[in-house]
Amino acid sequence: MVSWFDADAAALAVALDLPRVEALVSLASTMDAAHALAASGAAAGTLVLAEEQTGGRGRGGKRWQSGPRAGIWATLIERPREASGIAVLSLRVGLRLAGVLERWCEGPIQLKWPNDLFVAGRKLAGVLIEARWRDERPEWVAIGIGINLRVPSDERHAAALHDAQPLEVLGEAIPAIRAAAFATGPLQASELAAFARRDLSAGRALVEPARGTARGITADGALLIESEGGITSWRSGSLVLSS
């Protein structure tokens, strides 16, 4: 059974200027399917879409609600020539997605380090980056995105795009993601400034990954937290705001 919101996969590939689109009704995870395709030689730009994920996951193995036709559940395969941009790729993808998705939102999109998009304090979308390596070089990167088209019935703290057609959203999102994937090196000054304007946690009290006050991010993607001992940088963990 092959379909994605009633669009033909081959036509989608042409419309999105991609070499291949796998459009499925239901599968466990677009991320897992993308890794399998990449391991078998799928080209950069191969996209896996699903109307529903039965085992969708986010960062840290957290479950991502992925109901039938309730959102954009997708993973894009890229094959970067170098590793220098991978550490900040989730931030770059988030920045570029925020810029193109805001047209369907009732208010500005904010970014929560390192990989979530929020509207009015509610989660709209998430980004998941998983790389596979060979001889200390990236063989491929799988860029997973989940964007709510409607709010899950059992999720009070979620947001969704308004009056958005899934194919139109994809047409804006895929070029933005590919532009982020092609970028190399640490975040540029313009990217840091753009993140600061959208930073959900700036100046707010945190309990994780450490107690303190959020003070932005560094060019290499680390979270800055100020506490009594000074400012420390954190490159892993989840950001949890103090209630």
Q: What angle do CA 107, 112, 115 make, to 5 degrees?
A: 115
41 and 17 within one domain: yes
Task: Establish if 162 belongs to a structural domain.
Answer: yes
> Other C-beta atoms within 10 Å of 177: how many?
23
pLDDT surpassing 90 at residue 30: yes
Output the CA–CA distances (angstroms, integers) from residue 124 to 53, 75, 152, in the order listed: 17, 17, 11
Task: Establish if 182 belongs to a structural domain.
Answer: yes
Q: How far apart are CA 129 and CA 37, in angstroms?
A: 16
Task: Establish if 45 belongs to a structural domain.
Answer: yes
Residue 1: the pLDDT is: 41
pLDDT surpassing 90 at residue 7: no
Mind listing the pLDDT tens digit for each residue in 192-209?
999 999 999 999 999 999
Task: Establish if 1 belongs to a structural domain.
Answer: no
Closest-CA residue to 93 (of 68, 59, 139, 69): 59
Residue 6: the pLDDT is: 72
Mind listing the pLDDT tens digit for each residue in 131-181?
999 988 999 999 999 999 999 877 778 999 999 999 999 999 999 999 999
Mind listing the pLDDT tens digit for each residue in 206-233?
999 999 999 999 999 999 999 998 999 9
Per the CB < 8 A criterion, the answer to whether 240 and 227 are in contact is no
Q: How far apart are CA 186 and CA 222, in angstroms?
A: 11
Residue 155: the pLDDT is: 75
Query: Half-sphere exposure of residue 177, counting CA atoms within 13 Å on the CB side?
Result: 29
127 and 14 within one domain: yes
Paired tokens of 204: 């707010």
209 and 185 within one domain: no
Closest-CA residue to 190 (of 91, 103, 119, 115): 91
79 and 135 within one domain: yes
Give the H or E element holding residue 35.
helix 30-39
212 and 186 within one domain: no
Confidence class of residue 67 from pLDDT cuts 50, 70 and 90? confident
- What domain range is 37 assigned to? 9-190
Any idea what the CATH number is for the domain that residue 206 is in?
Answer: 2.30.30
133 and 217 within one domain: no
Specify the number of domains making up the chain: 2
Boundary-marking domain end, from 170, 190, 210: 190
Output the CA–CA distances (angstroms, integers) from residue 117 to 63, 134, 138, 239, in the order listed: 16, 31, 26, 13
Paired tokens of 47: 């996209």
Task: Establish if 144 belongs to a structural domain.
Answer: yes
162 and 96 within one domain: yes
217 and 97 within one domain: no
Residue 58: the pLDDT is: 62
Q: What angle do CA 108, 110, 112 make, to 5 degrees?
A: 170
54 and 135 within one domain: yes
Mind listing the pLDDT tens digit for each residue in 32-44?
999 999 999 999 9
Paired tokens of 114: 């390192």
Residue range 71-91: average pLDDT?
A: 96
Instruction: Output the pTM of the full model.
Output: 0.93
216 and 157 within one domain: no
222 and 158 within one domain: no
Ordered DSSP codes for 122-169: EEEEEEEEEEEEETTEEEEEEEEEEEESS--TT-TTB---SS--HHHH
Read off φ and ψ for residue 136, nearest 5 degrees.
65, 20
Task: Establish if 3 belongs to a structural domain.
Answer: no
Closest-CA residue to 226 (of 215, 241, 239, 240): 215
Any idea what the CATH number is for the domain that residue 58 is in?
Answer: 3.30.930.10
Task: Establish if 196 belongs to a structural domain.
Answer: no
232 and 135 within one domain: no
Residue 62 zone, left/alpha/beta (φ > 0; ψ -120 to 50; rest): beta
Which residues, in sequence order, are bridge partners of residue 57?
A: 63
Task: Establish if 69 belongs to a structural domain.
Answer: yes
